[in-house]
Every structure is written in C-alpha cells, then in structure tokens.
Structure 1
Amino acid sequence: MNLISVNRFPLRRLSAMSQTVPPILSVAPTRALVDEKFKVVVENLPPGCPVTLHSLHHSEDKDYWEAYGHYISDHTGTVSVAEDLSFGGTYTGREAMGLLWSMRPVPGSRTGLRLRKMNVCSPMLVNISAYSGHVAEGFRERAPLASVLTERWYMAPGVRRVDIRENGVRGTLFIPPGPGPFPGVLDMWGGGGGLLEYRSSLLASHGYVSLALEYFSPGELESADLEFNYFETAFNIVKDHPQVIPDKVGLFGLSLGSIVTMHLASESTVIKPGCCVCISGNHFHERGKTLRGILQTMGRNSHMARVDENNHHIWRYIGLEVMKDPSKKLDVGKINCPMLLVNGCDDQNWPAVESAEDIAQMMRAAGKEHLLTRLEYPDTGHLIEPPFSPHFRATKFITHITKEKVILLWGGQTKPHSDAQEDSWRKILAFLKHHLYSSSTPRARM
C-alpha cells in the first residue's frame, strides 16, 4: 500500500561490530492491510554477525505485545527475515511474518489477554527494531541499531464505514471503494458479544459490502433475547443496499455466529443466502427458542465443563453432551447453498470437528454433500482469526449465566494455528469470490 521507510541509528562501538557505516533496517511496505506480507531486511552488518529482530505493539488496552527472532547475517552482512532462519526467539525457522503472528504479551503483563482492534479507522502500529546480539529480554532498556514504525490496516483506502441503527438492527456497514454494485456479507461473531468490526472492514477491503452485526452485549444474557427474525432483518439491510447485488449475499459466522448462520440457511423462509462460511461452528438448535434460550441450554450443561492444570476452562465437553440429543440439532439437510466449514482439530471450546462430521453425514443423507466444503487443521484451536493475528490459546471470558470471569482454553499451538489462519483466510476469500462474484452458484439437487 505504500513505500519503504528507512531509519538509521548510530551503531554503538561494540567488540563484535566495529564499523563506520551504520546498519540499515527496511520494511516494505510499511503501510499495508493486516493480511498482506511485508519484507524485513537489515543491511550493513558485519558478516556472521548475531542480530535480533524485534516487534513491539502498544494495544488499545494499553498492553504491550512483542515478538522476536534471532538471526546471523550472511557473508554480505545482510539479514532477510523472509529468507533467513531464526535460530531462537518467539519463533524459529524461515518465517516471513513471525514478527507478527508470534506476538505475545511482554513479561509481567496481565493474564488472559487477547489482542483485538476495536477502532478500525486507525492502524495497528508495530515498531520493528534490530538489536545487536541475540537478545531475549530487556528490549526497552536497550538502544536498537535501527527501528521502523509500520502501519497494519483493516480498512483499505476508500472503504466507507457506516453506523447502522435501522429497524432495530445494530451494527456497522463497510462499503468498498468504487461505484459497485458489490456482493454482500452478513458478519456475525461469537459468544463474547459486542460489536467487532475488524473482519468486516477487511472483507470490505477485498470487495464485499459487509455488515458487522451486534446482537448482544458482552456478558449480558438478557440482551441476547432475540428472535431469529432480527438476523433476517439484518440480512435484508445488506441485500437491499443500493450498492449490493441482491442475489449475491452470503453469511459469515464464528462460533455462536455459526449457529445463527446455519439456522438462517436451513430454517429461514425469508432469506436465501448465496453461500455460508462457518468458523469453529456447530449445528446446535433449540426449537422455538430465542438465542438466549440456546445460551441457557448451554449453561444448564455447564457441569460438563472441565479445567486443566492451569485452571483454564474447557467447554468442548458441554458441546459433546448437547450433541447426544438429536432433537437439539438443526436439520442441516435443508441447506440449499454452498457452505464452508473451517475448524481446528485442537478446539477446546467446542467439538467442532465432531460437529462437522455430523453435519456432513446429515447433508450426505439429504443428497446435499456436494454443497459442503470442510477445512480441518491439526493443532489449531477455536479462535481462527485473519492471518498474522497472534494466537490466543487461553483468554479471559465472562460467562453468561453466572457472569463469572474465567480463563477459557481455546486450544491450538502457535505455529500450526498461525499457519491455519493464513491458509484458511486465503481459501475463505477464494470461496466467497467463487460463489458471490461468479455468474452461477451451485444449488442443491432437487
């Protein structure tokens, strides 16, 4: 999205580095979308010189996040993060984006943190620095050899953000630049509640009019007392927008949002989605109940939850218990649009892979399996985010019934989870493009 920025800092005279030309650190591009790669290069080092590349972000919650890798310069005195091996740090190996996806709270931070961008109108600022030697701590007390400030954006230039308060619906609409019309997406997050905009703004940056929908407040079960026609109304707000192709609107849900997605796709007589994307999803259903009723049923089975040795709550066993009752499953065999399921095999919050297999069997029995695409990733947890987002294995969560603050175990291992985020995002965009931008969309055989 922009040009290379280079900063030069005087090199302290060290025994391992006695030279007159200071090192040069470059990051290209310094301004980019969060799902774009950058190249980090250090030049003018002595050959065979140990150096540490470090990233630092000060979050909107006023917490510091960092990542770092240990490198050795080549015979020309150059280190390229995309091409050279990291021999230690928060990541190892040849990892072009390790300085982002391996970010973690700095030592001494609060426990259970999760990094999420709330104000998508401003960039995520990440400072990339080079340090002499292989450093593992005390970065802020050391003088770097060189530093570059980078901007990571969820909104591309020209994307418009519009507050939605229409027919009782609450959310934010993101509209791509240009005259349109564009395909549309109704974007729904999970059981944490609140209004999260960063995925919708990124979808708009890729050419979709996307509505980030708010459907209950964090930790407030009462505000989830919604009939499913709330979501049908939200879908129609997207469909009826003058810059949207009315028969090219999809559904996108994560966790609880995927329950809503599958319900709309299988049960609604009002809307006809062009396709569905469900991340860490399931087909749990309470007939005749509101969304609040679904959450209450989950709460009544909370005795099935377990805790690990760190007292992190494991909720996947609640889901396994609920799934034993066939009456509490959506009839996904009634779905008539293409559906993509994206799941992690180490999901500790919901038995997503087991749910996906059950969904596949139900759709196969209904002659609809050709509509289903499944992505399942080893050592990957519940929170599958846009690429290069840090991995959150366990974070704080407010329970809906007791309003107790706990630390939920989401699962996943950092490297494979991060690989899954990058791979799945690429395939999600390809799936949406194929089904919402193409001239024909496959439908169920009748």
Structure 2
Amino acid sequence: MSSQVRLRLLPSDRCLYDEPIQVKVSHLRSRQVVTIKASSTDEKGVLFSSSATYRADGNGDIDLVRDASLSGSYVGVEPMGLLRTLKPNTLNTLFIKEEALEPHMVKFSVHDEEQDQILAEVTNERLLMADGVSRVSVKEGNFRGVLFTPPGTGPFPAVLDLSTIMSERRAALLANKGFVVLTLPVFQEKLGNLKMLHLDPFEEAIIFLLQQPKVGSKRIGIIARSKAADVALSLAAFVPGVEAVVWINGCSANTAFPLFYKKRQILPALKVDTKKFIPTQSGAVIAKYAMDDPLKEENRATVIPIEQANTNFLFVASEDDLNWDCNIYKMEMEERLKRHGKKNFESMCYPRAGHMLEPPYTPFCPSSVNMFVKMQIMWGGEPRAHAAAEVHLWKKIQEFLRSHVSCDPVQLTDLN
C-alpha cells in the first residue's frame, strides 16, 4: 500500500447501517485514474463486492459526493453506489444481515490497476444498534421474537415488526429512532409442518408489547412486507390494539394458508398457480401473475376486511415488483376504503422499485429463493431507482409511525 494515498470515510469509519457516508481519496497524482472497491461477507459466508473507476482532480482528490464513476458497477455520481451495487459471487443470492448485535462490515480499498497495487484501504463498521439500545430475546406463550428498546425513560411508541422469516435488521434500526420494537417471524414453525396460520400468537405479542414499562402508546404500529403484510392487515381487521399499519408490497387477501383466530377459521387462503410462472434466462421465474385474482367471486372470501379496522394505513407498492401485483392490490384497498367512506390511509408508489424494499444502503437483490415455492424468484426493480425508493420510504415510515402511534406525553427520541 502507498504510504501517501489517503482513503477517508466521513464523518466516521463507524456509523449506523442506515446512515450515508462520504468516501474521499486524497494525495493521488493529478488526474490519476484509480479503482475504488468495496467488499463484504454476509452471515452465510457469501462474499459481496463492487467496484468503480474514478479520475482524480488536478489536486489528486476524489470525492464520491462530487465525482462521477467512469465505469464499473455503476456510472455517474452516486455517493453510496459502492454499497448499493455490492453483488454476490453466486447468482440469485440474497444478502443476509439479520442479527443486530454484529455490525455490517464493509472494506473499501483504492487500487492502481496498472501497477496492480492497493494504494489505501479502510473498513466501514455499519452498526444496526445505536449506543444504549437494548436487545432481549423473547419467548412468551405461543410466540418468540426479539425486543429492542431505546435508552432513556420514554415513554416510547410501540411497533410490531413482522417478517416472513426471523429478521432483526429493520426492528433494531427503528429502535434507534425511538420506538420500542418487537420483531417476530410470521412462521413460528417450519413451513413443511404448516397447514394453517393463527392470529392468536400475534395478539399475545401485541399485549406483551403494550405491557413493556417504557411503552407509552395505548396501541401499536405494525410494519410488514410480502406475506407478512397480509398478516398485518388481518391483525388490524380482527385483533384489538392496532393503531397503524405499514403495508409494503403485499396482497389485499389472505395468502398461502387458511387463517384462524379464536379457534375458528376467519379467512381461507388465496392460492398461487405455479403453472403461470414466467421463466427467465437467469433461471429465476417471474411470479407476479401467478396469484389467483382475489376479486373473482370464488376468491372473495379471502379478501381481508380492512374496512372494519379502526387503523391508519400506509400502503406502499413498487410498480416493478415481479413477485406480487402489489400495485393492483393497493389500488383495490384504496377504492374499497373510499367506498366505505374511510379516509384512514396514505399511499406511496415507486415506479421502478422492486419487491425487496429494505432499509437504505442494503445491497440490491434482483432474485433469490422464494421459501414458499422453493424456486428462484425475480424480485424486480431498476437498481438505482430502487435504492432511491428505499431512502425515501425509510423516512416516510418513521414519519407515519410517529404521527399515528402517539404517546402521552409525546416524547419521541431520534438517537441519530
């Protein structure tokens, strides 16, 4: 490595996962062309990497906020492009970073390709938990999950974070913003053993969450995507205590498994026809048009009666979602609520975003295995537009939850 060339991450090498950084290189030769690389290994041991070529200015400086990439994983000015474009060394692989205690470690390095030399390197430590946030594993009654609590006395609003499989990332990041967050997997047992889904364990989780000493809200917010999003709608419609729901790229009907509550079936399952999957050259399939139409007469019983919910909704749909026809479901719910004289909803639509909307600066995933059909599925999205949607949505989610899941007295703390 060159002793002169300097690579800096500003404001610090250490930051929260959802915070941007400024990458700067100095002490290069005037107009020198170099390659800046990023690499990270996920929790499954999969290596993700990206690179971009830059030309230094007359002073030998490069600033990714100012300067355009000439070639590589992306072209143009994109300050966080190296993170967004991290790609796996195996096709159709999802970036796995779900455990909150360990940071996301990304190594940045500057290379002189002509000399085959590393000029400088630095590691970015991207924390999922801010200082003082507590993490406690929870196993109560019929549910298991993880509880994140901000520092301070509160009171704080309560949020239930539902994910298809166990994930701590979004919940930890919301706790950093001043929410008490309980994260649960929708499926508390192996899918192979599952014949039905029950709302009762989620009701237990809501009661548990509202009983936490730092919680000041009388009702909770829920955030969920995909299959978990229709579970969130069902909780709003049938279970007391839900003040707000953030529904992301889901369905307006109950999908996959019959839904039970209080020992009786409340909704049958909308089915998927795998014969309608569309194959692609990558080996992954497009599943967007394979779900049965919930508005057909024979499927209407699967539609979740959100019009009976005393809940505020934020509907979020990606127009380039290749897994669900979620924008159609969003519009159907909007129209249904309007017909019932309801104004308790907001909507967001992202034209070139795909299914996998995550907290900001997560590596973009075009395709990976779908746990239901055990096939490689295309998720959709134009990478740069998808990344911009994630940044915008993350702020919107926080604003929506702060606005509707209120405490008395209001004391919402942003730890950033």
TM-score normalized with structure 1 length: 0.85
Matched, 1:110 2:90: yes
| Rounded Cα–Cα distance in structure 2 between residues aligned with 1:295 and 1:51 | 59
**Deviation of the 1:360 alpha carbon:** 0.4
Give 1:393's match in structure 2, choosing from 354, 360, 366: 366
Relative to structure 2, which stretch is displaced further, 157-166 or 298-307?
298-307
> Offset of 1:52 from its aligned partner?
1.4
Answering whether residue 201 of structure 2 is matched by residue 230 of structure 1, we say yes
3-state SS of paired residue (2:354): coil
Residue 162 of structure 2 corresponds to 188
Give 1:415's aligned amino acid. R
CA distance in 1, matches of 2:225, 2:203: 17
Q: Partners in 2 of 1:352 and 1:246 — Cα distance?
A: 30
Question: Match of 2:329?
Answer: 355
Equivalence for 1:130? 110
- Describe how 1:48-197 pairs up with structure 2 within 5 A: 48-105=31-88, 109-133=89-113, 142-190=116-164, 194-197=165-168
Query: Unaligned stretches of 5+ in structure 1?
Result: 1-8, 12-21, 136-141, 442-446
Checking the alignment, whether the CA contact within 8 Å between 1:50 and 1:134 is kept in structure 2 is: no
Q: Give the counterpart of 1:10 among 2, 24, 42.
A: 2
Corresponding residue to 1:35 among 2, 14, 18: 18
Whether 1:425 aligns to 2:398 is no
Is it true that 1:343 corresponds to 2:317 in the alignment? yes
Is this contact kept in 2: 1:240–1:246, CA < 8 A? no
1:153–1:294 CA distance, 2 compared to 1 (3 A) = farther
Asked whether the equivalents of residues 285 and 294 of structure 1 are also in contact (C-alpha less than 8 Å), the reply is no
188, 198, 215: which one pairs with 1:244? 215
Structure 1 stretches of 4+ with a deviation exceeding 6 A read 291-296, 438-441
State how far apart, in whole Å, the 2-side matches of 1:94 and 1:301 are.
43
Q: Give 2:285's aligned residue.
A: 313
Conserved 8 A contact 2:368-2:377: yes
Alpha-carbon distance change, 265 to 217 in structure 1, aligned in 2, over 3 angstroms:
closer
In 2 relative to 1, CA 336–295 (structure 1 residues): closer, same or farther, beyond 3 Å? closer
The runs of 5 or more residues in structure 2 that have no matched partner are 411-416
Shift of 1:285: 2.9
Residue 182 (structure 2) aligns with: 211
CA–CA distance in structure 2, aligned partners of residues 49 and 79 of structure 1: 10
SS at match of 1:121: coil
> 1:377-388 residue pairs with structure 2 within 5 A?
377-388=350-361
1:133 CA drift (Å): 4.8
Once residues 269 and 220 of structure 2 are traced to their aligned partners in structure 1, the CA distance between those partners, rounded to angstroms, is 31
Partners of 1:291 and 1:319 lie apart in 2 by 21
Deviation string for 1:226-280 (max 9, x for gaps)? 3211111111111111111141420111111110111111222xx2222110111
**Superposed displacement of residue 283, structure 1:** 1.6
The percentage of aligned residue pairs carrying the same residue is 28
Q: Distance in 2 between matches of 1:294 and 1:317?
A: 26
2:414 maps to what in 1?
Answer: none
Counterpart AA for 2:72: G
Q: Secondary structure at the match of 2:166?
A: coil
Greater relative contact order, per chain length (Cα 8 Å cut-off, separation 6+)? 2
- In structure 1, what is the equivalent of residue 344 of structure 2? 371
What root-mean-square deviation, in Å, do the aligned CA atoms of Structure 1 and Structure 2 show?
Answer: 2.6
